[in-house]
Amino acid sequence: MKAMLKTMAIASIACATTLAALPAAAVEISFYYPIAVSGPLTKIIDAMAADFEKANPDIKVKPIYSGNYGETLAKALTANKSGSPPQVAVLVASDTLTLIDEDAVAPMDQFVKTPADKAWLDGFFPAFMMNGRYLGKTYGVPFQRSTQVMYWNKDEFKAAGLDPDKPPQNWDQLVEYGKKLTKQDASGKVTQWGLIVPSGVTSHWFLQGFTTQNQAKLTNEAGTEAYLHTPAAIEALSFWTDLARKHKIMQEGIIDTGNAPNEFIGGRAAIMFHSTGNLTNVKNNAKFPFGVAMLPERKQRGSATGGGNIYIFKKSSPEQLEASFKFVKWMTSAPQAARWGIATGYVAGRQDAWDTPEMKQYQKDFPPASVALQQLPFCAPEFETHAGPRTTKALEDAIAASLTGTKTPDKALADAQAEANRILRSYK
Amino acid sequence: MKVGADNRWQRGLETLAAWLLAIVWAAPLLYCAWTSLHHPGDVARMDLSAPLTVHNYAYVFNAAPFPRYFLNTFILVTMVIVAQFTLSTLAGYAFARFRFPGRNVMFVLVLLQLMIMPDVLIVENYRTLNTMGLTDTILAIAMPYFGSAFGIFLMRQTFKSVPKELDDAARIEGAGTLRTLVSVYVPLAKPVYLAYGLVSVSYHWNNFLWPLIVTNSVTARPLTVGLQIFSSGDQGIAWPILTAATLLSAGPLLVAFLLFQRQFVQSFLRAGIR
Amino acid sequence: MARRTRRASRANDDEIDSPLTGWALFLPAALFLGVFTYYPAVATFFQSLFSDPKGGRAARFIGLDNYRAMLDDATFVHALVNNLWFALGTIPVSIALAIVMALLVNRALPGRALVRMSYFAPTVLAMVAVANIWLLIYAPQIGLLNAVVERLGGTPHNWLGQPDTALGGVIVVTIWKEAGFFMIFYLAALQSMPPNLAEAAALEGASRWHYFWKVTFPLLMPTTLFVMVNAVVNAFRMVDHILVMTKGGPDDASTLLLYYIYETAFRYWDTSYAAAMSMVLLAILGVVAIGQFLILDRRTHYR
């Protein structure tokens, strides 16, 4: 039966190629992209692809919406295993090693030939390049990136007797302000928390805010080692745990990442740590004046980068690979990066995008948009090792165990370290 | 006399219980409907006096070509239902009334399918359909579900309870196997088809991951895939939008159930099988 | 066409001895089952005996290593234990509720259409949608449940965010979604029961409680067993609600077998280990369901 199927397939492919070849010798590439923020984004992507085709009549781009990040990865790798991957895809930046280990993606370096190409590759912010680089090569370049920032409710600051324009600057102030901002009713029940830090999906990323401020480094460059059970990391997790369990300025237990902004918008928490991906959401839906600032510092400022890179899949024809590179370069060029950043609220990945007149206007109209840019020098790359999703799970389990009180931060991270060592032993 | 009064009390209590349970059961959906008609800020504050808005529905409807997605979903479930009914009826009849070598082993194999999670087979099935050159078609979404253990099992149980005498009578009148099946068994199994159809339609109306993976184009994708753009990711969940999208997609099914529920239940009543 | 010539035993009486017709009727379904279920399932089994091709390393035969690895895998053990609790929590309650619902709407009742609709509606919704609705209901500060709890004088709780209630929260959602589905089967069974039975019992002065346990319940037995097979299978093959609501957390408190398999396959891309776990799950379900089926077939009287 297999043979028959194959004949059928070959016949249909032959048919399709002759048909496609007749009108023009255009190279076709498919482009998988996830949608993780609201807005009519499929239309914007379609428009960008159409504009690219207009500038490059010999290339046809087929944009394919493919769910959220996880689903896009599932779709792309499933197709890749059948030998028919997309040519270009937007995937989580910290999935780079997964994609390399699956032998799915091609390094950008192999396409970079002219000085202009080189200038393009060097134009991205270094903080956004760390996840996409491996052993000196660049596999993914920034497309829709984000970092963690602090949102605060100015009305509540006023009500608590705090200066509404001065958010907490360090960990001590965070606790101090948080206590003032936590409100209880007559029966002692909390009606508003001082602070909300999500601990559901991507809790490891939120931990990275605290660890980076405490100068704890969680992995080595090669992604073959994880450093989870270090004094600085333990101190960071202890601090996060204490916010709820000792200082009582945050809800106990796990806080759903997707729902957290609703609690902030609904006035149930006065300060929120969350992704810059929420800027537009909070701007449109909060019925109170709010501010956006860098996360409070400990030994230094600190946050982590997140969001999606754009990748080229290697199992394609040489013509497709060249066309894909052209497309990637175009999509991440200054005007397009600015266009996408303004439409979505993501942080544009290169300085020249921020220098465009549109972007300058956008910053003037909405100053919080530039906070991410100021914080960028203090950002760590998102936690990533080989078998990354597994080590990430070990770390997230440790965070959950600590936050819910089933283990001490020390014990939780010791267990996570042991688990990470076990997972990574075959990559040494 | 006294018995009658007791009875009335009991009936009243049962009615009350039925309604209380109904209210508890409907509460999540009513809450969902309420959420879909409000501004996110009002939802978060649970402000019952907040003004209503249909903005969320308009937003959802304009975000993607929904008429097209509705049509695709409709084609998809029709295709699946027709194939499942046909194949399950034939196979169910075989298992209910025929002795053939390997029957019991085959039946156990069929039952095993009930326990195999389609999610686990995604990668392999994608490969098969890719070899056939069928990816990115509605047929590709439907095909893996044509053979249905649940359907075969259900039809076998139903056909087994059909009195053999009816079968014999039809055959004496000269009907062949298929004629007998269509004229005797199928009419008697109507309510089972309805129940099975309902279950199958709601499964395929709502199936998501497989259609997302096996299709790429607007012309092949069902509603669920179109609606996924409203789930969260880098930003928080927009409850009003998400609930509006949910109700918009489930709406047709809920309305259909409400409209046809009389026929639905009556056909259960008419069931000739005792 | 083969004709029955023997009239030996009663059991054989209802069956037609015609191998060709039998196979011909089964063949179309068998073809599709073969291509889209058995072939990929067997391929999956073979995968479970090989290591995953990763980072340029080719797949190699590792025999039962993957199966041995499960014993040391704390998350797998967690998932297995949780899944047993999940089955124990969902199956009896949703079946009992389904019977109660069917009995309640199987009689004249003001607004019966609406009541039925309310019981049945959750069945029509996608599990993903259901999970999202309940995520909102369980939300610690803005959710409906805590609002109701507070109104009743209780203390609000972070339902899905605490290890002691996360699995329970998921169980409630499953019951809500499943009870109405099972009700339909009971309703069908109740409606095909001869009404004169109940009248006779009422004349003899039997209480309704007594009547239910002595007459109705035994008559519903075939339905119960059928529903049970479905409920057991469902308890092990639902994954969407975990994916949306808890991701198996906190710290594996609500992880279920299929969810862990799903994560292993589509997040860790450890296809061969996922295949091995699928085989174990299949074996568990196979034993349980075939056992149930054997009981069902023996106990059911086809009238």
Q: Which stretch, A332-346, B118-132, C50-64, has highest mean pLDDT? A: A332-346
Sequence-separated contacts (24+) of B56-63 with Cβ below 8 Å: B56/B240, B56/B241, B56/B243, B56/B244, B57/B244, B57/B248, B59/B241, B59/B244, B60/B227, B60/B230, B60/B241, B60/B244, B60/B245, B60/B248, B61/B248, B62/A40, B63/A40, B63/A42, B63/B229, B63/B230
Asked if B63's CB is within 8 angstroms of A36's CB, the reply is: no
Quote the distance between the C-alpha of residue C202 and its chain's center: 36
CA gap A188, A175 in Å, rounded? 19
Among 3.40.718.10, 3.40.140.10, 1.10.3720.10, 2.60.15.10, name the CATH number for the domain at C74-299: 1.10.3720.10
* pLDDT reading at A210 higher than 90: yes
Do residue A74 and residue B213 have CB atoms under 8 angstroms apart? yes
Token output for C16: 């037609």
Of C288 and B103, more confident: B103
Q: Model's pTM, two decimal places? A: 0.85
Residue A59 in this model has a pLDDT that exceeds 60: yes
Predicted confidence at residue C6, as pLDDT, reads: 38
Length of chain B: 274
Residue C64: band (very low, low, confident or very high) from pLDDT cuts 50, 70, 90: confident
CATH number, domain containing residue A287: 3.40.190.10
Least confident of A110-114, B74-78, B254-258, C39-43: B254-258
Which tokens is B237 given? Answer: 């969940």
DSSP 8-state symbol, B183:
I
Query: Rounded to a whole number, what is the distance in Å from the CA of C153 to chain A's nearest CA?
Result: 10
For residue A128, report the phi and psi dihedrals to the nearest 5 degrees: -85, -10
User: Which three-class secondary structure state does DSSP give residue B188?
Assistant: helix
A188, A311: one domain: no
Which of these, B98, B264, B86, lies nearest to B191 by C-alpha position?
B264
Q: Convert the pLDDT of each residue in C224-236 to its tens digit.
A: 887 887 788 888 8
Range name among A146-150, A340-344, B64-68, B83-87 with the lowest pLDDT average: B64-68
Confidence of residue A309 (pLDDT cuts 50, 70, 90): very high
Of the two residues B211 and C14, the one the predictor is more confident about is B211
Stronger pLDDT, A4 or B188, i.e. the higher one: B188
How far C163 CA sits from the closest chain B CA (Å)? 23
Using a CB-CB cut-off of 8 Å, the residues of chain C touching B223 are none
Q: State whether B70 and B45 are in the same domain.
A: no
Show residues of chain B in contact with A257, CB under 8 Å: 232, 236
Task: Identify the weakest region by mean pLDDT among A250-264, B187-201, C92-106, C194-208.
Answer: C194-208
Q: Is the pLDDT reported for residue B268 higher than 60? A: no
Q: Determine the Cα–Cα distance for residues B84 and B265; give it in Å rounded to an integer.
A: 22
In a domain, B75, yes or no: yes
Residue C229 CB partners (closer than 8 Å, separation 6+)? B114, C289, C292, C293, C296
pLDDT band of residue A196 (cuts 50, 70, 90) is very high
Do B113 and B26 fall into the same domain? no
What are the tens digits of pLDDT across the range B152-182?
Answer: 988 998 888 888 888 888 888 888 888 889 9
Note whether B130 and B246 are same-domain residues.
yes
Is the ipTM here above 0.90?
A: no
- The residues, any chain, with a CB within 8 Å of residue B26's CB and separated by 6 or more, are C118, C121
Q: What is the mean predicted confidence (pLDDT) over B141-146?
A: 93
Range of the domain at B39: 2-55
Same domain, B17 and B41: yes
Q: Is residue A370 part of a domain?
A: yes
* Cross-chain residue pair A82–B130, CB shorter than 8 Å: yes
Residues in chain C: 303
The pLDDT score that the predictor gives to residue A1 is 45
At A192, is the secondary structure helix, strand, or coil?
A: strand
Using the predicted structure, report yes or no on whether residue C3 has a pLDDT greater than 50: no
The reply to whether C168 touches chain A by the CB within 8 Å rule is: no
C93 interface with B at CB cutoff 8 Å = no
Count of pairs with CB atoms under 8 A, one residue in A, one in C: 92
Last residue of a domain, one of A359, A380, A401: A380
> Does the distance separating the beta carbons of A77 and C158 come in below 8 Å?
no
Q: Which of A164-178, A332-346, B71-85, C201-215 has the lowest mean pLDDT?
A: C201-215
Q: What is the pLDDT of residue C120?
A: 86
The whole-angstrom distance between residue A16's C-alpha and the CA centroid of its chain comes to 38
pLDDT bracket for residue B264 (50, 70, 90): low
DSSP assignment of A80-111 equals HHTT---SEEEEEGGGHHHHHHTT-EE-GGGT
Copy the structure tokens of residue A402.
Answer: 């600590």
Q: Do C118 and B265 touch (CB under 8 A)?
A: no
Residues A294 and A330 in one domain: no
Structurally, chain A folds into a number of domains equal to: 2
A171 plus A142 within the same structural domain: no
Q: What is the pLDDT of residue A109?
A: 93
Count of pairs with CB atoms under 8 A, one residue in A, one in B: 127
Q: Is the domain of B39 the same as that of B71?
A: no
Instruction: Give the per-residue pLDDT at C60.
Output: 79
* CATH code, domain carrying B186: 1.10.3720.10
Label residue B111 by pLDDT band (50, 70, 90): confident
pLDDT the model gives residue B8: 78
Say yes or no: A350 and A216 in one domain.
no
Q: Is the pLDDT of residue B215 over 80?
A: yes
Tell me the C-alpha to C-alpha distance, in Å, between residue C173 and each of B55, C86, C142.
29, 11, 18
C252–A contact, CB cutoff 8 A: yes
Closest partner residue to B235 (CB to CB) among A74, A82, A281 is: A281
- B116 vs C110, C282, C290: nearest CB: C282
Q: Could you tell me the pLDDT band of residue C5, with boundaries at 50, 70 and 90?
A: very low
Asked whether C191 and C220 are in contact (CB, 8 A), the reply is no
Interface residue of C38, C73, C267, C270 to substitute, partner A, most A CBs within 10 Å: C267
Chain C: nearest CA to B132, how far in angstroms?
A: 12
**Do residues A136 and A157 share a domain?**
no
Nearest to A169 by CA among A299, A302, A295: A295
The reply to whether B33 and B167 lie within a common domain is no
Tell me how close the Cα of B89 comes to any Cα of chain A, in angstroms: 26
pLDDT band at C300 (very low <50, low <70, confident <90, very high): low
Condensed to tens digits (0 to 9), the pLDDT of residues A381-401 reads 999 999 889 999 999 999 999
Domain spans, chain C: 74-299
Q: Which residues in chain C have their CB less than 8 angstroms from residue A403's CB? A: 250
Same domain (yes/no): A177, A155 = yes
How far is the C-alpha of A364 from the C-alpha of A426, rounded, in Å?
Answer: 51
Using CB atoms and an 8 Å cut-off, which of residues 9-28 of chain A contact chain B?
9, 12-13
Q: For residue B186, is it within any domain?
A: yes
Label residue A41 by pLDDT band (50, 70, 90).
Answer: confident
| B82 shares contact with chain C (CB less than 8 Å) | no
- Residues A205, A182 share a domain: yes
Q: DSSP for chain C?
A: ---------HHHHT-EE-HHHHHHHHHHHHHHHIIIIIHHHHHHHHHTTB---BTTBPP-B-TTHHHHHHHH-HHHHHHHHHHHHHHHHHHHHHHHHHHHHHHHHSS--TTHHHHHHHHHHHHHS-HHHHHHHHHHHH-TTT-HHHHHHHHTT-----TTTSHHHHHHHHHHHHHHHHHHHHHHHHHHHHHTS-HHHHHHHHHTT--HHHHIIIIIHHHTHHHHHHHHHHHHHHHHH--HHHHHHTTT-STTTT--HHHHHHHHHHTS--HHHHHHHHHHHHHHHHHHHHHHHHHHHHH----
Residues of B in contact with A270 (CB under 8 A): none
**C-alpha to C-alpha distance for A337 and A348, rounded to whole angstroms:** 6
The confidence score (pLDDT) of residue A285 equals: 86
- Give the DSSP letter string of C122-139: HHHS-HHHHHHHHHHHH-
Is there a contact between C269 and A252 if contact means CB atoms under 8 Å apart? no
Within a domain: residue B158?
Answer: yes
| A226 in any annotated domain | yes
pLDDT digits (tens, 9 = 90+) for A135-193: 899 999 999 999 999 999 999 999 999 999 999 999 999 999 999 999 988 777 888 99
Is there a contact between A42 and B229 if contact means CB atoms under 8 Å apart? yes
Residue C204 has pLDDT above 90, yes or no: no
Q: What's the structural domain count of chain B?
A: 2
Q: Are residues A158 and A237 in the same domain?
A: yes
Question: Angle at the Cα of A390 (from A384 to A391), degrees rounded to 5?
Answer: 50
- pLDDT band at B274; cut points 50, 70, 90: very low
Tell if the CB–CB gap between A253 and C156 is shorter than 8 Å: no
Greatest CA span in chain A, whole angstroms? 78
Domain extent, residue A117, equals 26-146+306-380
- Say yes or no: A103 contacts chain C, CB-CB below 8 A: yes
Does the beta carbon of C290 lie under 8 angstroms from any beta carbon of chain B?
A: yes
Per the domain annotation, does B240 fall within a domain?
yes
- Gap between the Cα atoms of A404 and A200, Å rounded: 12
Residues A225 and A295 in one domain: yes
C162–A252 C-beta distance less than 8 A: yes
**Residue C230, burial from CB neighbour count under 10 angstroms (0-12, 13-18, 19+):** buried
User: What is the pLDDT, as a whole number, of residue A24?
Assistant: 53
Query: Is residue B40 included in any domain, yes or no?
Result: yes
Peptide bond preceding B67: is omega within 30 degrees of 0, i.e. cis?
no
Comparison of pLDDT for C301 and C103, the residue scoring more: C103
B199 lies within 8 A of chain A by CB: no
Q: Cα separation of B54 and B116, whole Å? A: 42
Task: Give CA–CA dist A199/A257, Å, rounded.
Answer: 6
